[in-house]
Amino acid sequence: MISTFLSKTRVTDDAALSGAPYVLGGAERRILVGISDDFYARGDFTANRLNYGIYRRGEPYIDPQTGELLGIRAIDIGAARIKALEKDVATLSVSRAEGEIRIKDRLLVAEERTLESTFYPRAPATAINGSVINVEEGVRNAGALDVVAINRGDRDGLQSGDTLAIFKRGELVKDRVASQRVRLPDERIGLLMVFDTYEKMSFALVMEADRQIDLGDLLRNP
Protein backbone atom coordinates (compact mmCIF):
# COMPACT_ATOMS: atom_id res chain seq x y z
CA MET A 1 0.00 0.00 0.00
CA ILE A 2 2.67 2.51 1.03
CA SER A 3 4.99 1.69 -1.89
CA THR A 4 2.14 2.14 -4.38
CA PHE A 5 1.20 5.46 -2.81
CA LEU A 6 4.79 6.75 -2.95
CA SER A 7 5.19 5.78 -6.60
CA LYS A 8 2.15 7.88 -7.56
CA THR A 9 2.48 10.82 -5.18
CA ARG A 10 4.72 13.86 -5.32
CA VAL A 11 4.51 17.15 -3.46
CA THR A 12 6.27 20.23 -4.78
CA ASP A 13 6.09 23.99 -4.37
CA ASP A 14 4.46 26.55 -6.63
CA ALA A 15 7.74 27.97 -7.95
CA ALA A 16 9.14 24.56 -8.91
CA LEU A 17 5.96 23.52 -10.71
CA SER A 18 5.38 26.85 -12.46
CA GLY A 19 9.00 26.99 -13.62
CA ALA A 20 9.16 23.40 -14.89
CA PRO A 21 9.20 22.54 -18.62
CA TYR A 22 5.73 22.09 -20.10
CA VAL A 23 4.11 20.05 -22.88
CA LEU A 24 3.70 21.96 -26.14
CA GLY A 25 1.82 19.22 -27.97
CA GLY A 26 2.16 15.94 -29.77
CA ALA A 27 3.62 15.11 -33.14
CA GLU A 28 1.38 16.04 -36.06
CA ARG A 29 -0.18 18.73 -33.85
CA ARG A 30 -2.02 16.24 -31.65
CA ILE A 31 -3.48 17.80 -28.51
CA LEU A 32 -3.51 14.56 -26.48
CA VAL A 33 -0.60 12.15 -26.22
CA GLY A 34 -0.52 8.49 -25.14
CA ILE A 35 1.90 5.62 -24.56
CA SER A 36 4.77 5.30 -27.08
CA ASP A 37 3.86 8.64 -28.70
CA ASP A 38 6.38 11.41 -29.24
CA PHE A 39 5.65 14.93 -28.05
CA TYR A 40 7.33 18.31 -27.71
CA ALA A 41 8.05 20.24 -24.55
CA ARG A 42 9.62 23.59 -23.84
CA GLY A 43 11.58 24.87 -20.88
CA ASP A 44 14.85 24.81 -18.99
CA PHE A 45 15.82 21.14 -19.05
CA THR A 46 18.27 19.98 -16.40
CA ALA A 47 21.68 19.25 -17.89
CA ASN A 48 22.50 15.57 -18.43
CA ARG A 49 19.06 14.39 -17.29
CA LEU A 50 17.03 12.48 -19.85
CA ASN A 51 14.21 10.92 -17.82
CA TYR A 52 11.28 13.01 -16.65
CA GLY A 53 8.02 12.47 -14.86
CA ILE A 54 4.92 14.07 -16.36
CA TYR A 55 2.65 15.82 -13.86
CA ARG A 56 -0.50 17.90 -13.68
CA ARG A 57 -1.11 20.53 -11.02
CA GLY A 58 -3.30 19.15 -8.27
CA GLU A 59 -4.77 20.48 -5.06
CA PRO A 60 -2.80 22.72 -2.72
CA TYR A 61 -2.13 21.63 0.84
CA ILE A 62 -3.01 24.50 3.19
CA ASP A 63 -2.29 24.70 6.91
CA PRO A 64 -5.74 25.21 8.48
CA GLN A 65 -4.20 26.90 11.51
CA THR A 66 -2.03 29.50 9.73
CA GLY A 67 -3.22 29.55 6.11
CA GLU A 68 0.33 28.78 4.93
CA LEU A 69 0.77 26.93 1.64
CA LEU A 70 2.53 23.70 2.62
CA GLY A 71 2.88 22.21 -0.85
CA ILE A 72 1.09 21.37 -4.08
CA ARG A 73 0.18 17.88 -5.17
CA ALA A 74 1.73 17.00 -8.52
CA ILE A 75 -0.61 14.43 -10.10
CA ASP A 76 1.33 11.63 -11.78
CA ILE A 77 0.40 11.38 -15.47
CA GLY A 78 3.30 9.35 -16.81
CA ALA A 79 6.97 9.39 -17.73
CA ALA A 80 9.04 10.26 -20.78
CA ARG A 81 12.60 10.29 -22.06
CA ILE A 82 14.28 13.00 -24.12
CA LYS A 83 15.15 11.94 -27.67
CA ALA A 84 16.43 15.28 -28.93
CA LEU A 85 16.95 18.78 -27.59
CA GLU A 86 17.29 21.97 -29.62
CA LYS A 87 17.71 25.12 -27.55
CA ASP A 88 14.76 25.04 -25.13
CA VAL A 89 12.51 22.67 -27.12
CA ALA A 90 12.80 18.93 -26.52
CA THR A 91 11.39 15.93 -28.34
CA LEU A 92 10.39 13.21 -25.89
CA SER A 93 8.98 9.70 -26.12
CA VAL A 94 6.33 8.55 -23.66
CA SER A 95 7.55 5.53 -21.67
CA ARG A 96 4.59 5.33 -19.27
CA ALA A 97 1.13 6.88 -19.31
CA GLU A 98 -1.47 6.75 -16.54
CA GLY A 99 -3.85 8.81 -18.67
CA GLU A 100 -3.88 11.21 -21.59
CA ILE A 101 -1.00 13.68 -21.58
CA ARG A 102 -2.21 17.20 -22.25
CA ILE A 103 -0.78 20.52 -23.37
CA LYS A 104 0.55 22.47 -20.34
CA ASP A 105 1.30 19.33 -18.29
CA ARG A 106 4.62 19.80 -16.50
CA LEU A 107 7.85 17.79 -16.61
CA LEU A 108 9.85 17.21 -13.43
CA VAL A 109 13.12 15.32 -13.17
CA ALA A 110 12.36 11.73 -12.19
CA GLU A 111 12.78 11.18 -8.45
CA GLU A 112 14.83 8.38 -6.96
CA ARG A 113 12.63 7.46 -4.01
CA THR A 114 13.41 4.57 -1.72
CA LEU A 115 11.03 3.03 0.79
CA GLU A 116 12.34 1.68 4.05
CA SER A 117 11.78 -2.07 4.12
CA THR A 118 11.02 -1.98 7.84
CA PHE A 119 9.52 0.75 10.00
CA TYR A 120 10.24 1.02 13.71
CA PRO A 121 7.32 2.98 15.20
CA ARG A 122 8.41 5.41 17.89
CA ALA A 123 7.39 8.69 19.46
CA PRO A 124 8.79 11.83 17.78
CA ALA A 125 11.98 13.27 19.24
CA THR A 126 10.30 16.69 19.51
CA ALA A 127 6.90 17.84 20.74
CA ILE A 128 4.38 17.86 17.89
CA ASN A 129 1.05 19.65 17.77
CA GLY A 130 -0.60 19.38 14.38
CA SER A 131 -3.72 18.33 12.54
CA VAL A 132 -5.04 16.19 9.70
CA ILE A 133 -5.29 18.37 6.58
CA ASN A 134 -6.32 15.87 3.91
CA VAL A 135 -7.54 12.33 3.49
CA GLU A 136 -6.08 10.80 0.35
CA GLU A 137 -8.28 9.12 -2.29
CA GLY A 138 -10.52 12.18 -2.42
CA VAL A 139 -12.65 11.52 0.67
CA ARG A 140 -13.15 13.61 3.80
CA ASN A 141 -13.09 10.87 6.42
CA ALA A 142 -10.52 8.22 7.26
CA GLY A 143 -10.33 4.92 9.10
CA ALA A 144 -7.69 2.32 9.86
CA LEU A 145 -5.13 1.79 7.06
CA ASP A 146 -6.11 4.99 5.24
CA VAL A 147 -3.45 7.53 4.24
CA VAL A 148 -3.74 11.10 5.51
CA ALA A 149 -1.75 14.29 5.01
CA ILE A 150 -0.70 16.24 8.11
CA ASN A 151 0.59 19.78 8.58
CA ARG A 152 3.93 18.91 10.15
CA GLY A 153 7.13 17.82 8.40
CA ASP A 154 10.93 17.91 8.31
CA ARG A 155 11.19 21.41 9.74
CA ASP A 156 9.21 20.26 12.78
CA GLY A 157 11.51 17.30 13.41
CA LEU A 158 9.24 14.55 12.07
CA GLN A 159 10.81 11.42 10.60
CA SER A 160 9.52 8.27 8.94
CA GLY A 161 8.38 5.86 11.64
CA ASP A 162 7.25 8.57 14.07
CA THR A 163 3.83 7.91 15.58
CA LEU A 164 1.24 10.48 16.63
CA ALA A 165 -1.94 10.12 18.62
CA ILE A 166 -5.12 11.38 16.96
CA PHE A 167 -7.57 13.42 19.03
CA LYS A 168 -11.11 14.62 18.45
CA ARG A 169 -11.49 18.17 19.75
CA GLY A 170 -13.73 18.33 22.79
CA GLU A 171 -17.19 19.74 22.28
CA LEU A 172 -18.13 23.20 23.45
CA VAL A 173 -21.08 22.81 25.84
CA LYS A 174 -23.09 25.09 28.08
CA ASP A 175 -22.50 24.90 31.83
CA ARG A 176 -26.00 25.58 33.14
CA VAL A 177 -24.75 26.03 36.70
CA ALA A 178 -22.08 28.64 35.95
CA SER A 179 -24.04 30.04 32.97
CA GLN A 180 -21.04 29.88 30.66
CA ARG A 181 -19.72 27.75 27.83
CA VAL A 182 -16.95 25.26 28.53
CA ARG A 183 -14.95 22.99 26.23
CA LEU A 184 -14.83 19.32 27.12
CA PRO A 185 -11.47 17.47 27.11
CA ASP A 186 -10.14 16.27 23.75
CA GLU A 187 -10.76 12.57 23.13
CA ARG A 188 -8.05 10.26 21.83
CA ILE A 189 -9.48 8.27 18.90
CA GLY A 190 -6.53 6.68 17.12
CA LEU A 191 -2.88 6.43 16.18
CA LEU A 192 -0.99 7.09 12.95
CA MET A 193 2.54 6.50 11.70
CA VAL A 194 4.43 8.92 9.47
CA PHE A 195 6.01 7.26 6.43
CA ASP A 196 6.86 10.11 4.02
CA THR A 197 8.03 13.58 5.05
CA TYR A 198 8.46 16.85 3.19
CA GLU A 199 9.73 20.16 4.52
CA LYS A 200 6.36 21.47 5.68
CA MET A 201 4.05 18.42 5.68
CA SER A 202 3.98 14.64 5.77
CA PHE A 203 1.92 11.61 4.81
CA ALA A 204 0.95 9.07 7.44
CA LEU A 205 -0.84 5.74 7.70
CA VAL A 206 -3.68 5.41 10.19
CA MET A 207 -2.76 2.44 12.38
CA GLU A 208 -5.69 2.55 14.82
CA ALA A 209 -9.07 4.27 14.63
CA ASP A 210 -11.72 3.97 17.33
CA ARG A 211 -13.89 6.52 15.55
CA GLN A 212 -14.11 8.18 12.16
CA ILE A 213 -11.17 10.51 11.54
CA ASP A 214 -12.08 13.90 10.06
CA LEU A 215 -10.19 16.82 8.58
CA GLY A 216 -8.99 19.05 11.39
CA ASP A 217 -8.61 16.28 13.96
CA LEU A 218 -5.68 17.03 16.26
CA LEU A 219 -2.30 15.29 16.43
CA ARG A 220 0.04 15.06 19.41
CA ASN A 221 2.84 12.91 20.73
CA PRO A 222 1.43 9.58 21.94
Per-residue pLDDT of the chain (222 residues; tens, 9 = 90+): 677 787 788 999 999 999 999 999 887 777 677 777 899 999 999 778 999 999 999 999 999 989 999 999 999 999 999 999 999 999 999 999 988 899 999 999 987 666 666 788 999 999 999 999 999 876 789 999 999 999 999 999 999 999 999 999 999 999 999 999 999 999 999 999 999 999 999 999 999 999 999 999 999 999
Q: What is the C-alpha to C-alpha distance for residues 69 and 151, in angstroms, rounded to an integer? A: 10
Q: What is the C-alpha to C-alpha distance for residues 36 and 94, in angstroms, rounded to an integer? A: 5
If phi > 0 it is left, if psi is from -120 to 50 it is alpha, else beta; for residue 216 that is: left
Q: What is the C-alpha to C-alpha distance for residues 181 and 187, in angstroms, rounded to an integer? A: 18
Q: What is the C-alpha to C-alpha distance for residues 176 and 160, in angstroms, rounded to an integer? A: 46
Phi first, then psi, for residue 19 (nearest 5°) are -90, 0
Query: Are the CB atoms for 22 and 33 separated by under 8 Å?
Result: no
CATH number of 129-220: 2.40.10.410
- Displacement of CA 45 from its chain's centroid (Å): 24
What global pTM score does this model have? 0.87
Which pairs with CB-CB distance under 8 Å and at least 24 residues apart come from 14-21? 14/69, 14/72, 16/108, 17/55, 17/57, 17/72, 17/74, 17/106, 17/108, 19/43, 19/44, 20/55, 20/106, 20/107, 20/108, 21/45, 21/52, 21/90, 21/106, 21/107
Q: What is the C-alpha to C-alpha distance for residues 107 and 109, in angstroms, rounded to an integer? A: 7
Among 150, 145, 146, residue whose Cα is nearest residue 216: 150
| Residue 132 one-letter amino acid | V
Question: At a CB cut-off of 8 Å and minimum separation 6, what does 149 contact?
Answer: 61, 132, 133, 134, 135, 136, 201, 202, 203, 204
